[in-house]
Each structure stands twice: as structure tokens, then as C-alpha cells.
Amino acid sequence: MRAFYIRWVILLAIFGGIAGLGGLRYIREVKTISPKDVMAQSSVAGVRLMGMIEAGSFIKALAGEPFRFNLSEKGEKVAVVFSGEDTDSLLRELKTIVVVGRWDREAGVFHASEIALVPNYGFITSAYVFSLVPLGFFLFYMERRVALLYVMIKEEKAYQAETGQ
Amino acid sequence: MVATHFIGKLRKFEKWFGIVAGVLIAVGLYTGLVTSSPDYYQGEVVRIMYIHVPFAQTAMLAYSSLFLCSIWYLWKRESVVDNACHAAAGLSLFFTAGGLLTGSIWGKPTWNAWWVWDPRLTSFAIMFLTLVGYLMLRTFLDDKEKRATFSAILAIIGFIDLPIIHFSVEWWRSLHQPLSVSTRGVSIAPDMLIPFTLMSFGVGLLFTYMLMVRTQMLYLEHLLEAKQGRLLNEGQG
């Protein structure tokens, strides 16, 4: 039984490591902050800001001009200037989006270079946790039960396994 | 002797299925959660595909195993084959529930609904109910022979649902997306195809490994019960 538990500790370490790497990627590439959090920061680049485009604030870009709108969440709002192209028509009023770019605290403006969909990462985490954790428990229970049954059977001398010659 | 030989073979090969499944799933999870890129339309949520689709495919693979086991049982009448049928049904129910749950979680951000009465979803839910019925039937019958025979017949009848599940996205106008990998080609980006394929084969092999372990578990439980029953009778005699 000792080898059985060691095998499971190794398995947990491997899959825990993969979950950790997934978590690091989430922090590095996916995690967003709110308008309130970005306003509390000093000027910084590479920020992923999430919020809803405020009704009445959206100014569509003319030729050579950037898009301008306010992103709001929980009563706080940040003015955003987006100088890229809205090829996927993500920008419209009352739509929640993610903008990636640089926060200029002195000017009070967020200069966005990219726009992205809301990551909805909670759904991804739930799907993996609700499927893989029960799978792990189920597998652990079955393997342990079989190992114990072989011990009990051996004691009872009810079954003699074939050597596979 | 047939049962001992069968269980001996399972013990001999099970670990290789377990090792290969573990490696494929580990690499599949790493590529799916860490290195693959988000989808153009769905964004990050597409990562649910790498667990939902393998679970759903494996649920159908498990039911197909149950179907084959049931035919085999009705033909040979070996109790160890009935153990394999019982094991396949339990695992099929587990993967079907997993497929439904992960599908429901994926449906909310993409369709804005946890559940819709779509042909694919409905036919999959029917498979879930068939398996619940199968396992309930097994608990209702005390006679071993009758239990094995009636449950095998139910499993064979329930198999009608599998082609309906598979072709539902082609036969009816469905909200569920059509097959991404079929004989007509592959409609999935290469860097998404790698984790998708690894996870599909990994979970499929893991099912095979679990089927081998669970069959042994059920067989040994019956063996032990029979042995203890004999000892009890001898003691009373």
C-alpha cells in the first residue's frame, strides 16, 4: 500500500504543478483590474482593464482619429482612448470589454492598444474543477479498494492471480 | 478458470493504459491551459472544450463498451463479463454526468443559458437517464442471472440513442456546434488541435484503465462475498 500512496502523491504533485502553471499564465495574460484599481495606481503600462462602455460616452473614430469612451464599474469610471481598429465590432455602448494598454495618471486617461473579450475564467476553472476533482477521487477510491481487496482475498486464499506466463 | 484468466490479463495490461493515459492528460492539460491561444470568437472560454469534448466522447465510448459487454454476456453467460458490463455502466454514467456538467458550464458564457432543449443535449440527457435506469434495475433484482440478463437487454435497447446523439447536429437545426473533427475535415486551429487530440485520447485511455480496475473491483467483491458466504454456511452447518 505504501507504493500506492507514493504514486498518488507524485500524481498530485504533477497535476498540481500544471494547475500552478495555468494559474501563473492567468495572472500574466488574463487577469484584469477594475477602473477603481487602475485609478489607485501610478502611471503603468501593460494593464488589462475591464469595464462597461458607459452609455452616451462612446465617440466613434473618424479617419485617423482614435475611439474615445468611458469604462465604468461600480460607480467608478476611466476615460479610454483606443487608437486601434475595431475589426470585430466589439465596441458599443453598455458592452463589457477588456482594454489592454497604458494608464496615464497625470492626464487621467487610459491609452488602449488592444481590445479583448471578457475572459470569463471562472467558468473555465469551474469546468475543470467539477470534472477532474471527482475523477481523481473516483479513481483513488477504486484503486485503493482493489489494492485492499487483493490483500483480503490473499488472506482468504479465494483467488490466485495468474502469473501471465 | 475463464474469470481468473480474464482478471489476470487485466492486471497484466492495466498499468500501461494508466501510464499512457496519465502522460497524455498531463501534456494535454499543459498545452490546453498554458500554451494554446484563445479562440477568435469565444476568447478564453474555448479552453472548456479540452475537457468537455473528451468527457462527452468517452461517455459514448463507455456506453459502446457496455453495449458490447451486454452482447458478450448474453452470448457467453460468464459472470465476469457481467462484472465488466456493470463497471462500464458506472463509468459511462460518471463521464455522461461530467459531459453534461461541463457542457452546461460552457453553455452559460457562450449561449447565455445553462441548458437548452437542443437535440444534442436532450439525446445526451436521455443516455444519462438510461444509465441511471440500468443501475437502478441492477439494485432491484436479487437473482444474479436475471439481473445480468435484464440489464444487458436494457443496455442493448438503450444503444439506439447513441447514433441519435452523434448525428443530432446534422439531422436537426441545432444550437450545438457540428463536429470539429470528422471525415469531411478538421475545422479547428492547429494549436487547439494538439490539446484537443491529447485530451481525447488521454481520457479515452483513462476510461479503459478505469474499466479494467473497476471490473477487477466488482469481480473481487463478488468473490469475497461468495467465499465469506461459504464460510458462514460451513460455520452454521
**Residue-wise pLDDT tens digits, B152-177:** 999 999 999 999 999 888 888 777 77
Contact call for B30 and A21, based on CB within 8 A: yes
Per the CB < 8 A criterion, the answer to whether B223 and A158 are in contact is yes
**One domain for residues A70 and A51:** yes
> Alpha-carbon distance A90 to B201, whole Å?
36
Asked if residue A158 is part of any domain, the answer here is: no
* Choice between A88 and B75, residue whose per-residue pLDDT is larger: B75
Under an 8 Å CB criterion, which residues of B touch A?
4-5, 7-9, 11-12, 22, 26, 29-30, 33-34, 38, 40, 42-45, 47-48, 51-52, 55, 94, 98, 101-102, 105-106, 108-109, 206, 210, 213-214, 216-217, 220-221, 223-224, 226-228
* Interchain CB distance below 8 Å, A156 and B216: no
**Could you tell me the CA-to-CA distances from A140 to A32, A38, A130, B102, B114 in Å, in that order?**
36, 45, 16, 21, 30
Overall domain count for chain A: 2
| Between B56 and B3, residue with greater pLDDT | B56
Gap from B77 CA to chain A (nearest CA, Å): 21
Q: Is the pLDDT of residue A165 over 60?
A: no
Q: Judge if A111 and A125 occupy the same domain.
A: no
pLDDT tens for each residue of A72-81: 988 888 999 9
| Least CB–CB distance from A119: residue in B33, B44, B226 | B44
Beta strands in A54-117 (DSSP E): 67-73, 76-82, 96-104, 109-116
The set of residues, in sequence order, having a beta carbon less than 8 Å from that of B43 and lying 6+ positions away, is A116, A117, A118, A119, A120
The answer on pLDDT for B140 being more than 80 is yes
Whole-angstrom distance, CA of residue A61 vs CA of residue A64: 8
In angstroms, the Cα distances linking B63 to A143, A149, B91 are 22, 27, 9
Residue A10 Cα, gap to closest chain B Cα (Å): 12
Residue range A99-115, pLDDT digits in tens:
999 988 888 899 988 88
Confidence (pLDDT) at A115: 87
Q: Given B5, B94, B220, which is nearest A153 (Cβ)?
A: B220
A78 in a domain, yes or no? yes
- Across residues B49-67, what is the average pLDDT? 96
Instruction: Name the average pLDDT for chain B.
Output: 90
pLDDT digits (tens, 9 = 90+) for B198-232: 999 999 999 999 999 999 999 988 888 887 776 66
* Shared domain check, A126 and A112: no
Three cell numbers written together for A89: 465590432
Q: What is the ipTM of this complex?
A: 0.89
Task: Tell whether B213 is covered by a domain.
Answer: yes
Domain region containing A97: 32-116
Residues A6 and A59 in one domain: no
Instruction: Tell me: do A37 and A111 sit in the same domain.
Output: yes
> From the CA of A138, how many Å to the nearest CA of chain B?
9
Return the number of other C-beta atoms located less than 10 Å from residue B17's C-beta.
Answer: 20
Residue B110 domain-assigned?
A: yes
Question: How many structural domains does chain B have?
Answer: 1
In a domain? residue A143: yes
Q: Which residue has the higher pLDDT, B23 or B111?
A: B23
Task: Please check whether residue B3 lies inside any domain of the structure.
Answer: no
Contact B72, B114 (CB under 8 A): no
**A112 and A36 part of one domain:** yes
B234, part of any domain: no
Q: pLDDT (tens digit, 9 = 90+) per residue, A47-68?
A: 899 999 988 888 877 777 888 8
Question: Is residue B4 assigned to a domain?
Answer: no
